Structures are given as structure tokens and as C-alpha cells.
Amino acid sequence: MNEKKAAQVKKLEAEFSELTQQIYTENDIVKKRKLIARRDKVRWKVTAIKNNRRISRETKRELIAYSFIAPNFIGFAVFTLIPIVFAFVLAFTNWDGNNAVTFVGLENFKSLPTDTFFLAALRNTIIYVLGTVPLTMVASLGLAILLNQKVKARGFFRTVAFFPYVASLVAITAVWSMMFHPSKGPVNYLLLTVLKVPQADLPKWFSGTLVLLTLILFSVWKYMGYYMVIYLAGLQGISPELYEAGGLDGANTWQKFRYITWPQLRSTTFFVVVMLTINCFKVYDIAVMLAGGGDGKLSTSATVLVYYIYQNAFNYWKLGYSSSIAMVLFVMVLIITLIQFRYQKKLEA
């Protein structure tokens, strides 16, 4: 045993001196660093063998580091990672949650393009995202700039803007349902009396093509307060010296915004847009609460992907099919987020 060890040590020591030699002769700094790291490893191995340690210092260090991540990672694995991997596998199967799983290959994905309700949900979700993301971004940035000025009762107005985000969804959708009530609501009443819209043409805010507009308006109103706070933080991080310098150079308000505020807020805007896009693709509760009517079911004019995923999974127990829709949603969000990340990198470079 000891002879074997001695031989090993000898071999490693030879490698060590060879590496040392190489380090001296190497001129490229990057390669030199790599060689030094390799030499360190060899040195650790030698000491590990000499001190009879089973686990090398390196592994020990890594284990300690992993143990620090463990509490978070275990939660992530159990509640997020495993279900996601499971859903990915399920997308290629038929399963009702109780009987045996049968693999069907791409069948689930093949039937998607002929499914009227899936197509309606996909179309509505995309329209919703395209409407909500830019509007919310502009509205929250506008509000943040306004409420970053030194105006009276600034705290009050900030609270007012933030309130819809905090308020219970059930309560505020009830209020919206009454505000936009097709025959008794104040909105339509104003249209009727002030704008003289004929009674028969009064918009039905919760059905037909208008329902998506109502959903978008509602979401912008509800979420702009939250993103306003993020923008406020971004605005307060901009050094006042930049504006001072701009002022001295004769920049007007628009130019200050265009050449100072907007570029300085780039990373904030990036964060806001990514979060908004992801959240909007996941829309479900707002649609069901506003457009679900008495039974919480969405017709083709208001159905969204997450609703259809839920319906397939827990009403029809087609867990495979619903997973395949979830995969479509996942891939869409992934692609958009990747594009955003790449764009952000390009801007920073």
C-alpha cells in the first residue's frame, strides 16, 4: 500500500515540477493562470495523499458550498424543477392521473393546430401581451417621472398609483364590472349622455372583441403602480450632475429625457419589460374574474392559454395534452426572454 502511495506521490511531484517549469516559460497570462491552477490541484493531491485524507480539500470546499445552496435548491427542485421536467415528459404522453401512462410521441403537439380553443387562447394571449406590456411600461414610466418631481402631496399620489396593485383582485374586478356594466355602468352612461352614443351601440365591455381591451386596460391600471415604484428607484439612482451638465449645455426637457433619463434607465426598463412579458403570458385570474361571468368559464373571445391548460388538466384530466400546451407557453416565453437578454447585452457592449 505504502509503496503504491509513494509511487503516486513521486509521479505527482514530477508533474508538479514540470508544471512549475512550464509556468516560468509561459508568456500568455491566461494560459499561465490555468497552469497555476493545475499546479495547485496537483499540490492538493499530494498533501491529501501524504495526510491520508480520503476527501480532497477541493471536494470538501465544494461540498461546503453546496450545503449552503441546499436549502434553497431542495425547495426549488421539489416544487419547480421536478414538476417542470415531469411536465416536459408528460407532454409526450396521455395520462389521466390514475391509469397507466401511455407514450404517444408528438400526437399532442400535432393536434394543437386544429384545436379551435387552443388557437383562440393563443391569439388572445398574444394580443393581451402585445397590448399590456408596452402600455404598462409607458404608463409606469410616465407616472414615475411625474411623481419624482417635487409636487405637493407626492406621497399621497404615489399611494394612489400603487393602491390597485395592493388591493384584492376580487374586490377591484367587482368594481370594474359595475363601472363598465353594459347598461347601468357610469362609463356607458357617460358615453350615452355626454358623447351621445346611441343606446344600441353602447359597448359591451365584457364580451366580443372589446373584452380583450377591457382586460388590457384593467391590467395596465392594476400593474402600473408596481412598475412605477421600480422606475422611481431607477430615477433616483441617476446622478443629478448629469442633468446639471445637460442644463449647462442647453438641453431642454425632452433632450434631457432622451439623452440622460432614458439611457440611464436602460437596465430598469429591461427588468420591467422582462417581468411584464412573463407575467402577462401567465394571465389567468384577471380574465376569469372579469370575463368569466357567473360560472367562471371563458368563451373563445376571452380564453387565455393558462385557462385552457387548467381546463384540460383538471376538468378533462388530459394531463398530457395540457402539458403540451404548457410547453408551447414555456417555449414562447423562453424565446422572448432570450431575445430580450441578447438585445440587452448588445446594448451594453
Partner 1 sequence: MKRKLLSLLLAVTVSATMLAGCGAKATQTQDNTAVTEKPTATTAPKAPVEKEEITLKWAIWDKDITPYWVALKEGYETANPNVTIELMDLGSADYMTVLATELSGSASEFDVVTIKDVPGYATLVSKNTLEPLDSYISSAGIDLSQYGGVDNQITVDGSLYELPFRNDFWAIYYNKDIFDAAGVAYPTNDMTFEEYDALARQVADPTYGAQVYGTHYHTWRSAVQLFGVLDGQHSILDGKYDFFKPYYEMVLKQEDDQICRNYADLSAEGLHYSAAFSGGDVAMMNMGSWFISTLIANIKSGEYDASLCGNWGLVKYPHAEGVEVGSTLGTITGLAVTSVSDQKQAAFDFVNWVSGAEGAKVMAETGNFPALMNAEVSGIIAGLEGFPSDAGSKEALSVSNLYLEVPYAENVSAVNDILDTYHKSIMNREITIDEGIAAMNEEVGKVLGK
Nearest to 284 by CA among 174, 209, 173: 173
**Grid coordinates representing 223?**
400593474
Assess 181 for contact with partner 1 (CB under 8 A): yes
Residues 207-236 as x/- pattern, contact with partner 1 by CB under 8 A: xx----------------------------
Query: Cα separation of 263 and 267, whole Å?
Result: 9
Q: Which residue among 32, 44, 56, 182 contacts partner 1 (CB under 8 A)?
A: 182
Assess 301 for contact with partner 1 (CB under 8 A): yes
The interface region with partner 1, picked from 10-18, 34-42, 176-184, 220-228 by CB under 8 A, is 176-184
Angle made by CA atoms 49, 22, 29, in degrees to the nearest 5: 110
Q: Which residue among 163, 314, 341, 343 contacts partner 1 (CB under 8 A)?
A: 314
Nearer CB in complex with partner 1: 170/248: 170
CA distances from 179 to 16, 68, 176, 214 (A): 79, 52, 5, 11
Q: Which residue among 258, 300, 335, 338 contacts partner 1 (CB under 8 A)?
A: 300
Nearest to 132 by CA among 232, 262, 278: 278
Assess 98 for contact with partner 1 (CB under 8 A): yes
Name the minimum Å distance from CB 95 to partner 1. Answer: 9
E strand or H helix that includes residue 103: strand 102-103
Query: Cα separation of 76 and 168, whole Å?
Result: 28
- Count of residues binding partner 1 (CB under 8 A)? 42
The interface region with partner 1, picked from 1-9, 39-47, 99-107, 255-263 by CB under 8 A, is 99-107
Nearer CB in complex with partner 1: 89/238: 89
Q: Which residue among 64, 170, 294, 348 contacts partner 1 (CB under 8 A)?
A: 294
Nearer CB in complex with partner 1: 188/261: 188
Instruction: Say if residues 145 and 235 touch (Cβ distance below 8 Å).
Output: yes
Beta-ladder partners of 93? 103
Nearer CB in complex with partner 1: 108/269: 108
Residues 9-48 as x/- pattern, contact with partner 1 by CB under 8 A: ----------------------------------------
Nearer CB in complex with partner 1: 100/248: 100
Instruction: Say if residues 293 and 280 touch (Cβ distance below 8 Å).
Output: no
Q: Which residue among 206, 223, 226, 307 contacts partner 1 (CB under 8 A)?
A: 206
The three-state secondary structure class of 182 is: coil
CA distances from 131 to 213, 214, 271, 277 (A): 8, 11, 18, 11
Beta-ladder partners of 94? 102
Name the minimum Å distance from CB 117 to partner 1. Answer: 8
